[in-house]
Amino acid sequence: MKYVVGYTADRGGKLALDLASNLAYSTRDSADPVELDLVMVVRHESPFTVAGPGADPQGFEQILDTTLRQWADDALATIPAGVTGRVLIRAADSEAEGILAAADEVDARMIVVAPRSHGLGGSLGSVANALMHSSPVPVMLAVANSTPEEPTAPGPSRVTAFVGTKAGADAVAHVAAVTAQYHHLPLRIVSLLELDQARGQDAAQIAEARELIEDIAGRATLSSEVVVAPGRSLDEAIAGIEWRKHEIAMLGSSRLGGRTLFLGSTAHKVLRATPVPVVVVPRAPRTVPHASSGSETDPEPRTGAGSDSGSGRPTAGGQA
């Protein structure tokens, strides 16, 4: 099973690589361990970006190539023994496009990137934002406060899916269920309710949320736990949730807590408030059959079938 890491030879790239390495390491003894493809993107140069005297395109490319290979060697050296890793150097019009093309090329089940920690106005930076808007596979965001110190640290202990009360919850719950099932992890489904604007409807909303997630949890047939986390604001709702060490959180790319928000800012809030790695699941993940088909909770045969079928499930790693 391939994970693609959007790698840059800086602090962010190291975070993404460490997080992905940790997940891969925890599956090293599984039948289908996670393998890492680190993608370094070089942008296409337009010949009409005129370069004056001394620009030396070929000479520059030679230096760039040498540097990229040095970065690649350095990155591969940090991957723990037992984990298969490669570096793909690809050209594209943008970093995000290059990562998506590589994910498609190797049929990746997950993309791991580090959002820009200083993104303005709650943005995660152009690369992570672009990926979350257009990636057909789940995108795991590596931030400093939730990435394990060592790639060989214990892997994930539980999967938590954030679901809202509206459409889109199914995909998240489904991916989380598949992930948990495959890696024999407990599953927790959390509904965030933002209650300040509609006090009168509190009871109805909570009931609605409970109904939805019990429905999803019922179909997941896992040792799942259902939690409704209310709060006057999203921050408050998130703050009330307890976390295990080495957990993975999943949330949908479009809605959270029943209110439409700009994706980047919601993800940013969750990222800030959540002490564990966060996976953003696209509304209709490419590799997941529609969640209402009922029997999807036994993914073992399909994920085991290898990367060529295209019908396998995204998974977030876990302990065997």
Partner 1 sequence: MSENSEGGTAAEPRISDEPSKGLAKGAVGTVGLVVIGISTIAPAYTLTAALGPTAAEVGTHLPAIFLAGFVPMLLVALGYRELNNRMPDAGTTFTWSTRAFGPWLGWMGGWGLIAATVIVLSNLAAVATDFLFIMISQIVGDPSIAELTTNLWVNIPVTMAFLAAAVWISYRGVQTTMVFQYVLVAFQIIVLVWFSIAGFVHFGNGTAFDATAPSLEWFNPFGVADLTTFTAGVSLSIFIFWGWDVTLTMNEETKDPAKTPGRGSTITVLLILVLYMVIALSVISFAGVGTEGLGLGNPENQESIFAVLAGPIMGPFAILMSIAILTSSASSLQSTMVGPARTLLSMGFFKALPSAFGKISPRFKSPTVATFAAGAAAGVFYVVTRLLSENALWDTVTALGMMVCFYYGITALACVWWFRREFTQSVRNFVLMFLFPLIGGLTLLLMFIKTAIDSMDPGYGSGSSIGGLGLVFILGMAILLIGVAVMIYQAIRRPEFFRGKTLPMDR
Give the nearer residue to partner 1 in terms of CB position, either 89 or 140: 89
DSSP state of 186: -
Residue 32: other Cβ atoms inside 10 A: 16
For residue 70, with 0-12 CB atoms within 10 Å meaning exposed, 13-18 middle and 19 or more buried, which class applies?
A: exposed
Q: Residue 120, CB half-sphere, CA atoms under 13 Å: how many?
A: 0
When the beta carbons of 62 and 293 are compared against partner 1, the nearer one is 62
Tokens of 167: 């459409």
Residue among 255, 266, 269 nearest 166 (CA): 255
Q: How far is the CB of 264 from partner 1 (least distance, A)?
A: 18
Least distance CB 307 / partner 1 (angstroms): 12
The DSSP secondary structure of 87-156, one letter per residue, reads: EEEEEESSHHHHHHHHHHHTT-SEEEEPPPTT-GGG---HHHHHHHHH-SS-EEE--GGGS-SSTTS---
Report, in Å, the least distance between residue 84 CB and partner 1. Answer: 4
- Contact by Cβ (8 Å): 155, 320: no
- Cα separation, 228 vs 272, whole angstroms: 20
Q: Of 34 and 161, which has the nearer Cβ to partner 1?
A: 34
Residue 105 CB, nearest approach to partner 1 (Å):
9
Q: How far is the CB of 129 from partner 1 (least distance, A)?
A: 15
Query: Looking at beta carbons only, is 46 or 292 nearer to partner 1?
Result: 46
CA distance 294 to 71: 46
Cβ 9 to partner 1 shortest distance, Å:
4
Please report, as ranges, the residues that interact with partner 1 according to CB under 8 A: 8-10, 13, 28-31, 33, 35, 42-69, 71-73, 76, 82-91, 95
CB of 32 to partner 1, least distance (A): 8
Q: Which C-beta is closer to partner 1: that of 115 or that of 252?
A: 115
* 119 class by beta-carbon count within 10 Å (0-12 exposed, 13-18 middle, 19+ buried): middle
Between residues 70 and 221, which has the closer beta carbon with respect to partner 1?
70
Closer to partner 1 at the Cβ: 142 or 281?
A: 142
